[in-house]
Amino acid sequence: MAGPMGGGPRRGPRGPVQKPKNAKGTIIRLFRYILKHKGLFIGMLVFAAISSLATVSGSLFIKPIVDDYLTPMVGQEFTKELVAPLIRIMILMGSIFLCGALASFGQSKCSVWLTQRTLNTLRKDLFDALSDLPISFFDSRPNGEIMSRFTNDVETLRMFISQGLTQFISSGIMIVGSFFIMLFLSWQMTLIVIAMVIVMVFITRTLGKKSAFFFKKQQEQLGSVNGYIEEIIEGQKVVKVFNHEGEVVSHFGDINENLRKAATSANTFASMLGPIMNNLAHITYALTAAVGGLLAIKKAMTAGDIVAFLQYIRSFTQPISNITQQFNNALMALAGAERIFDIIDQKPEIDEGYVVLVNAKLNDKGEIEETEKHTGIWAWKHTHGDGTVTYTRLAGDIVFEDVTFGYTDEKTVLHDVSLYAKPGQKIAFVGSTGAGKTTITNLINRFYEIQEGKIRYDGINIQKIKKDDLRRSLGIVLQDTHLFTGTIEDNIRYGNLEATHEDIVRAAKTANAHSFIENLPDGYNTMLTGDGANLSQGQRQLLSIARAAVADPPVLILDEATSSIDTRTEKQIEKGMDALMEGRTVFVIAHRLSTVRNANAIMVLENGRIIERGDHDDLIEQKGKYYQLYTGSFEEN
C-alpha cells in the first residue's frame, strides 16, 4: 500500500509545492500506529483482496458465457440441455460475486474498527504528550490552534484510514489483476488503455501538486479560525464591555474568508480531477471499442473477448480514478498527521529528578525510616550513584542562590535573586506589578527552568527532585484561579484525591469558604461550570485556598490569594490562613499590607531584583521603596 502512495507524491523540482515536510517519515509513523492492530489490518487487507479479486475474476466468466454459451444459442430453440449449463455457469459467477459482497462487508467492519482504534491511540498519545509539555509551550500558542489538532487533523486521518487506505489496497489489486487479464485478451487494445492512463497520471500529478499546497494551507486556516472562535468565547464579556462585537465579527469574516479561499483552491483542483478522469475513461472506452470492432472484423478477436475487455477497462480505469481522488485525501491526512506528530515530538518538560517524596517515621534512635503508612511525616528519599539511600526530612527550607531567569532568551526577568526561607517562616513578596513576584513562585514549583543559579529545597537542588513529588510537597494558590467542571466538593478534592468529606469541610472552614458553600442550594454538591462562572471572584479564590488547604502541604505558595476579597471577609480568612500557615513555610504575594505585615521577612522586588529585605519594622525604618508602598498604595487599607 505504500507503493501507490509513495510513487505518486514525488517532489517537483520547483514551484510552490508544499508537501508534508517529511512525507516518508510521517507515513512510516502513521503505519506504526495502524499496525498496532495487526489483526484488524490484516483482516482488512484480506477482505479487500478477496472482494477485489472476486470483482476481477467474476468478470472472467463474461468471455466464456458469450463465446461458448450464448453465441451457439443464437438462432437455436431453447431446450433444457442448452439452458442448464448456462444457468450453472451463471450460478457459479453469482456465487463469486456474492463472496465478494460478503468480503467487502467484512472489509468495512474491519476498517471501522481499525480506524477508530488507531485514532483512539493517537488521541491518547497526543493528550499524554500535551500533559507532559512545559508551561512555556502553552504560553506560545493559542489554545484553539492546539484543539484543532484533536478535531480537524484527527478527522482528516479518519477519512484517510477508513476510506483511503482500503481504496489504495483494493484499487491496487484491481488494477494489477485487470491489467494482466486485458493483456491476455488483447495486447493491442491494452496499449491504447496504457496510453490513456499515462495521460491520466500526468494530469493527476499536475493538479495534485497545485492542490497539495492549498490543502496544507486549508488545515492551517482552519486552525486559526478555531483558535479565534475559542478566544472570543472565552473573552465574551470583554468583547461586550468594549463594544467590540463589530470588529470581532469583521475579523472573523476575514479569517473565515481566508479559509474559504484556501479550501476553494484546494477543492477546485481536487474536484476537477474526477470529471476529467471520468471523461478520459469514456474516451478510452470508445476508442478501444472501435479498435476491438476492427479486430473482430479481422477475426483477431471474438465477441466475448471484446465484451470482457470493455468490462475490464472499467475495472482498470475506475480504481485509477479512485486512487487519484484519494490522493488529495492522503496528502491532507499526512499534513494532519504531521501536525499531530509535531506536538507528540515536542520536548516534554525535563524531569531527570530522582529524589522522591516518601512517607516516613522516626525510629527509636530518632532516625528517619521509610514507611508505607501515612504518618504526616515526609522525607526526601535520595538514591545515590553507589546505590546507597539517604533520607532527609521534609521541612520546607527553601533557598535561592543567585537565580537568574527569563521566560525568553531576549529578556531577563529575574536578576541574581538570592533568598532563604527557614521552615515555618512566612516570606512575603511585594513590589510593583510586573516586578517578578509570580515568576519567583513559578520557579519554586519548576514551571520553568532557571538559566543560572540554584534553588535548594531542604538542601537538595530542586532539579534533582522528581517534579511530581516536588509539586506534591507544595500547596499553591495560583494568581488566576481555575475551577473545573464538577461539584464544589470535587474541586476542593483536587488538592488531595484521598480526602474524605470531613477533610473537605475542614479545609473549607479553614479557608472560610464553608459558610458561603452551605448557603448555596446544593451546598457542597453545587455544580460548577465554565471555570466557576456561577460563583463570585472572591468565592472562587476561597475555593482555591480550600483546595490548597486540603492538600496539607509543608510549603504554601499564595499568589495574591486574598486580593478579590472584601475587607471583612479578609479578616476572617486571615484567621483561617494563620491556622493554615502554622508550622509551614509560606511564600505569600499580596497587595494588602495586612497579609504582609506579620511576615518573618519581606522581599521588595523591583524590575526582577530584590532591592530591600527585612521585616515590616526594619523596612519602615529604612524609608525605602517599601516605606513608599506602605505609605502610598497601601494607605487605603
Ligand X SMILES: Nc1ncnc2c1ncn2[C@@H]1O[C@H](COP(=O)(O)OP(=O)(O)OP(=O)(O)O)[C@@H](O)[C@H]1O
Question: Which residues of the chain form contacts with ligand X (CB under 6 A)?
Answer: 139, 407-408, 413, 431, 433-439, 479
Burial of 459 (0-12, 13-18, 19+ CB in 10 A): exposed
CB of 234 vs ligand X, minimal distance in Å = 17
The distance of closest approach from Cβ of residue 139 to ligand X in the complex, given in angstroms and rounded to an integer, is: 4
Nearest to 536 by CA among 566, 494, 493, 560: 566
**Shorter beta-carbon distance to Mg ion: residue 438 or 491:** 438
292 binds, among Mg ion, ligand X, none (CB under 5 to 8 A by kind): none
SS3 410: coil
From the list ligand X, Mg ion, none, which binds 544 (C-beta under 5 to 8 Å, kind-based)? Answer: none
C-alpha cell read off for 200 = 491520466
How many residues line the site for Mg ion (CB under 5 A)? 2
Question: For residues 341 and 356, is the Cβ–Cβ distance under 8 A?
Answer: no
Closest distance of CB 140 from ligand X, Å = 8
Do residues 385 and 373 touch, judged by C-beta distance below 8 A? no
Q: x/- string (CB under 5 A) for Mg ion, residues 443-482?
A: ------------------------------------x---
| Contacting range for Mg ion; rule: CB under 5 A; set: 6-14, 18-26, 30-38, 433-441 | 433-441
Q: How far apart, in whole angstroms, are the C-alpha atoms of residue 157 and residue 151?
A: 10
Q: Choosing among Mg ion, ligand X, none, which partner's interface includes residue 381 (Cβ < 5 to 8 Å by kind)?
A: none
Q: Does 438 bind Mg ion (CB under 5 A)?
A: yes
**407 touches, from ligand X, Mg ion, none (C-beta below 5 to 8 Å by class):** ligand X
Largest CA distance in the chain: 126
Cβ proximity to Mg ion, 437 vs 547, nearer residue: 437
Query: Cβ 609 to ligand X, closest distance in Å?
Result: 12
Residue 604 zone, left/alpha/beta (φ > 0; ψ -120 to 50; rest): beta
Give which of Mg ion, ligand X, none residue 581 binds (C-beta under 5 to 8 Å, depending on kind): none
With b for 16 or more beta-carbon neighbours within 10 A and e for fewer, the 569-587 pattern comes to bbeebbebbeebbeebbbb
Closest CB to Mg ion among residues 136, 529: 136
Query: Which CB, 209 or 437, lies closer to Mg ion?
Result: 437
Residue nearest to Mg ion (CB): 438
Nearer to Mg ion, 217 or 591 (CB): 591
Neighbours of 285 (CB within 10 A): 16
Q: What are phi and psi of 575, to 5 degrees?
A: -60, -50
Q: Which does 243 bind (CB under 5 to 8 A by kind): ligand X, Mg ion, none?
A: none
Choose between 378 and 448: whose C-beta lies nearer to ligand X: 448
Pick between residue 138 and residue 354 the one whose CB is nearest to ligand X: 138
Q: How far is the CB of 627 from ligand X (least distance, A)?
A: 19
113 binds, among Mg ion, ligand X, none (CB under 5 to 8 A by kind): none
**Cβ-contact 541, 564 below 8 angstroms:** yes
- Piece of the chain touching Mg ion by CB under 5 A; list 80-88, 306-314, 320-328, 431-439: 431-439
Stretch near Mg ion under the rule CB under 5 A, chosen from 16-24, 50-58, 207-215, 437-445: 437-445
Residues 143-181: b if buried by 16+ CB within 10 A, e if exposed: ebbbebbbebbbbbbbbbbbbbbbbbbbbbbbbebbbeb
Question: Nearer Cβ to ligand X, position 479 or 594?
Answer: 479
Q: Which is nearer to ligand X, 479 or 487 (CB)?
A: 479
Q: Under a CB-based contact definition with an 8 Å cutoff, are residues 317 and 195 in contact?
A: no
Minimum Å gap between C-beta 370 and Mg ion is: 38
Residue 606 CB, nearest distance to ligand X (Å)? 10
CB of 623 to ligand X, least distance (A): 23
Residue 445 or 512 with smaller CB distance to ligand X: 445
What 3 state SS string does 224-260 have?
HHHHHHHHHHHCHHHHHHCCCHHHHHHHHHHHHHHHH
Distance in Å, CB of 350 to ligand X, minimum: 17
List the end-to-end C-alpha distance of the chain, in Å, as a whole number: 73
Burial pattern 293-303, b for ≥16 Cβ within 10 A else e, equals eebeeeeebbe
Quote the CA–CA distance of 514 and 504 in Å, as a whole number: 9
What x-and-dash track marks residues 478-517 binding Mg ion by CB under 5 A? -x--------------------------------------
Q: How far is the CB of 591 from Mg ion (least distance, A)?
A: 10
Minimum CB separation from Mg ion for residue 438, in Å?
3
* Residue 439: contacted member of Mg ion, ligand X, none (CB under 5 to 8 Å, by partner type): ligand X
434 binds, among Mg ion, ligand X, none (CB under 5 to 8 A by kind): ligand X
Distances (CA, A) of 232 to 130, 218, 248, 258, 470: 23, 21, 8, 18, 36
> Quick one: which H or E segment has residue 602?
strand 601-606
Distances in Å between the alpha carbon of 526 and those of 486, 495, 511, 591? 8, 18, 18, 31
Nearer to ligand X (CB atom), residue 208 or residue 436:
436
Contact call for residues 51 and 100 (beta carbons, < 8 A): yes
Joined together, the cell numbers standing for residue 380 give: 526526601
Residues that bind Mg ion (CB under 5 A): 438, 479
